[in-house]
Amino acid sequence: MINGIVNIYKEKGYTSHDVVAVLRKVVGQKKIGHTGTLDPDATGVLPVCLGRATKVCELLTDHDKTYEALLLLGKTTDTQDISGEVLEERNPGDLTEEEVRSCIESFIGEYDQIPPMYSALKVNGKKLYELAREGKTVERKSRKVQIHGIRILEMNLPHVRMEVDCSKGTYIRTLCHDIGEKLQVGGCMEELERTKVGHFLKEDAVTLDEVRQKMEQGEGAELFTPLDQIFAELPAVTVTDAKAWMSYNGNDLPERFLLEKEAWTDGQEVRVYDSRKNFIGLYQYRAPKKLFHIKKMFLDPEAEKIEK
- Pairing mode, strands 65-73 and 159-166: antiparallel
Q: How far apart are CA 37 and CA 39, in angstroms?
A: 7
Task: Give the start-end residues of each E strand in 174-259.
Answer: 187-197, 200-201, 224-226, 236-238, 253-254
Cα-Cα-Cα-Cα dihedral sign, residues 123, 132, 58, 81? negative
**Alpha-helical segments (H) within the chain:** 16-27, 57-61, 97-105, 128-133, 172-182, 208-216, 244-248
Of the listed 39, 81, 228, 274, which one is catalytic? 39
What 3-state DSSP class applies to 243? Answer: helix
On the CB side of 1, CA atoms within 13 Å amount to 15
Phi and psi at residue 68, to the nearest 5°: -115, 125
Q: Is 228 exposed, middle or buried (0-12, 13-18, 19+ CB in 10 A)?
A: buried
Cis amide prior to 158 (ω within 30 degrees) = yes
Q: Residue 24: which of 52, 55, 48 has the closest Cα?
A: 48
Q: Please say if 228 is a catalytic residue.
A: no
Q: Helices 172-182 and 97-105 meet at what angle, rounded to 10?
A: 130
Beta-carbon count within 10 A of 32 CB: 21
Which positions are catalytic? 39
